[in-house]
Amino acid sequence: MKIKVLGPGCVNCKKMHEMTLQAVNELGIDTDIEYVNDMTEISNYIMVTPGLVVDEVVVHEGKPLPTVNEIKILIKQKMAAKGGSSCGCSGCCG
């Protein structure tokens, strides 16, 4: 799984990055989180920042910012769609 936080570096974008790091930590999953601040690359995904992309699919754009729990749900939904588990294992714990 690859996660991208999209934003030019504003307060809300930095907050989204921090909350995404916290959500991934709380879920206990091993994943890459990339903070993308290049506006050309950001515009390939969204028109309004901040944005959250999981495995190249935009799962959030703009405000209001999702909570840490909402970010966890977005990540878990994407994992379930791929057939993975919420903890990052091979699926033994569901």
Residues annotated as catalytic (active site), given as ranges? 10, 13
Q: Cα 38 from chain centroid?
A: 17
Whether residue 50 has a cis bond before it, omega within 30° of 0: yes
Any idea which residue has 């969204």 for tokens? 46
Whether the Cβ atoms of residue 51 and residue 45 lie closer than 8 Å to each other = yes
SS3 63: coil
